[in-house]
Amino acid sequence: MHKDEMKGAAKDMKGSVKETAGKAMGDRDMQAEGAAEKTMGKVQKGVGNLKDAARNALKH
């Protein structure tokens, strides 16, 4: 597992929590911030997956 995958997963989870809290409190800014952070986390996880796949392909 690449470090970007782990950091992305953490960002994704943090964004989900923030988005849910924003919905519960009726805070649209927090909700949008959480959704954006969640998306960035998913992208970062994807980058980590690509890096990991490239590294594995070069090993074999």
Each residue's pLDDT expressed in tens, for the chain with a length of 60 residues: 779 999 999 999 999 999 999 999 999 999 999 999 999 999 999 999 999 999 999 987
Domain residue limits, the chain: 3-59
Provide the pLDDT for residue 21.
98
Q: Half-sphere exposure (CA, 13 Å, Cβ side) for 42? A: 8
Q: Which of 1, 36, 32 is nearest to 45 (CA)?
A: 1
Residue 41 · residue 11 · CB < 8 Å: yes
Instruction: Give pLDDT, residue 60.
Output: 79
Q: What is the pTM of this model?
A: 0.82
